[in-house]
Structure 1
Amino acid sequence: MTSTTGSTHTSTALEGRTALVTGATSGIGKAVAQNLARQGAEVVLHGRDRTRGEALVKEIAAEGGSARFVAADLTDAEDTLRLAAEAGAVDILVSNAGLYEFAPTAATDAASFDRHIAVNTRAPFLLVGALAPGMAGRGHGSIVLVGSSAARLPAPIGAAYGAEILTRYWATEFGPAGVRVNTVSPGPVHTEGTRAMLGDHIGALDTTNARGRAGDPGEIAEIVSFLAGPASSYVNGAVLYADGGERSALPA
């Protein structure tokens, strides 16, 4: 199950479904949004940069898909709830937006910690609380959290990064009503964000797993689309590790 960000395969597996993807204007989120649109979903794109968001709407339309953009700041609780309201009755929620700052605990101040908690934990909590009851009322829905190998591979940096601790709880809470909740936990992936963080050390990403290379956003998007669609109807409460066979965390 591999792909690239530029994949143009199409399917009707998600036709008639509406998907909200947070952090959709770059990296994994962008690839996920494009892939869901290619499978027939109407995609609500979330991001902070309206220019990039509207550009992606046009890209998806050019491929025959349907998308609209809603800007929101996930560090703000009220803005997060506004995003949920403007997204409307969604069938699929992909909580992809996240923060990860390379800093040891002593160098992580309260403001930085609060940003991490707001985006990585509170925002998905608020979005699920606002959107999952509607899915349950309609008898179907899929929630996919995009986590990170950083949540299970301790390192001397980034301790404020959120883990996938709510997956099983939500799967138990909403599963009986037909709403599935799963997490994808990627290892290192080549994105604009990782290039910005690592700079000249970007090659280190290709040395951390058994595949001998970092992942492509499109590969993660294929897994998200699988979990969002009918082919995974019996998968609930799972954390799927997409890391190429992880060997170790990145060095400090």
Structure 2
Amino acid sequence: MGERLRNKTALVTGSTSNIGRAIAEAFAAEGAHVLVSGRNRERGTRVVEGIRAAGGRADFLAADLDGSAAASRDLADRARETLGGRLDVLVNNAGVYPAPPTLATDEATFERVYAVNVKAPFFLTAAVVPGMAESGGGAIINLGSWIARLAVPSGALYSSTKGAMETLTRAWAAEFGPMGVRVNAVSPGVILSPAPAGGAPHPGEVMMKGTPAGGVGTPDAVAHAAVWLASDEAAFVHGTVVDVDGGRTGVAVIAA
């Protein structure tokens, strides 16, 4: 157990699996009291049990962040109540990734993706910032994506939502920084859970050939960046998008 987030409280949305789970576990390992949140109570309970078994503090809050302001405000209210009135860190991680091509995207799909990926974190952030400011400050970490800047086929809808979140990161840093609330983002690249030994290479490996890292990343890589942004070590960091992508977007990729 570390102490970089000792005595801090945190809410991580969409943290019942993958990147969100890794962030919640990493926060708890650094001393934070973490609220694991998501739609699946069974998976959330398993994450909480694992954190507690490792000596950390965690609770689960079921939430379906459908984009309505009411759902976001409800989660914010329950989070503050569970944490005794103070929330120090919010990680806007929850998201959906249907990836139809533009010509095959219907209005219902468009609205759902924007509701979950943009509207929900927008109203959740609005709901938690006043309390953070009142208690002396806080940190908000958004999840962007490498495909917000490096396009892939059939990624227009999803990548546009992540571009919106990276833009909101900078806008919110300007808006909330004077209130003591830092806002930054992590932009993951091709991130996969570790594959079983002897398993076939994942198609994502092809996308990472020729990059400095030479292969895909794991959720822990994103979690380490999130811990730093949430900690006092990043106290002078505002409006920054930290690329955790193995060099995929920042370095010329030369195919072998």
TM-score under structure 2 length normalisation: 0.86
Give the distance between the partners of 1:33 and 1:208, measured in 2 at CA: 31
Counterpart secondary structure, 1:212: coil
Cα pair 2:99 2:157 within 8 Å, conserved: no
2:215 alignment counterpart: 213
Cα pair 1:189 1:205 within 8 Å, conserved: no
Task: Provide the aligned C-alpha RMSD in A.
Answer: 1.8
Counterpart secondary structure, 1:165: helix
Q: 1:18 and 2:9 equivalent?
A: yes
1:80 alignment counterpart: 72
Shift of 1:102: 2.2
2:153 alignment counterpart: 156
1:40 alignment counterpart: 31
1:137 alignment counterpart: 134
Q: Deviations over 1:165-203 (max 9, x none)?
A: 1011110111012110001101100049xxxxxx96344
Identity percentage over the alignment? 45
Shift of 1:158: 1.9
1:116 alignment counterpart: 113
> What letter is aligned with 1:87?
A
Counterpart secondary structure, 1:14: coil
Aligned length: 234
Q: Deviations over 1:71-124 (max 9, x none)?
A: 111125122221111111310000111122221111111111111111111011
Cα pair 2:27 2:34 within 8 Å, conserved: yes
Counterpart secondary structure, 2:157: coil
1:186/1:202 CA distance change after superposition, 3 Å: closer
Q: 1:103 and 2:100 equivalent?
A: yes
1:91 alignment partner, one of 83, 88, 92 = 88
Q: Deviations over 1:188-220 (max 9, x none)?
A: 00049xxxxxx9634434437331101111011
1:108/1:218 CA distance change after superposition, 3 Å: same
Higher deviation after alignment, 228-237 or 209-218: 209-218
2:52 alignment counterpart: 61
Cα pair 1:209 1:243 within 8 Å, conserved: no
Q: 1:147 and 2:139 equivalent?
A: no
Give the distance between the partners of 1:71 and 1:120, measured in 2 at CA: 17
Cα pair 2:72 2:120 within 8 Å, conserved: yes
> What letter is aligned with 2:146?
S
1:27 alignment partner, one of 10, 18, 23 = 18
Counterpart secondary structure, 2:167: coil
2:203 alignment counterpart: 201
Runs of 5+ consecutive residues of structure 1 not aligned to the other structure: 1-9, 193-198
Shift of 1:32: 0.3
> What letter is aligned with 2:22?
A
Give the distance between the partners of 1:232 and 1:81, measured in 2 at CA: 27
Higher deviation after alignment, 156-165 or 31-40: 156-165
Cα pair 2:23 2:223 within 8 Å, conserved: yes
Q: 1:127 and 2:116 equivalent?
A: no
Give the distance between the partners of 1:246 and 1:122, measured in 2 at CA: 28
Counterpart secondary structure, 1:225: helix
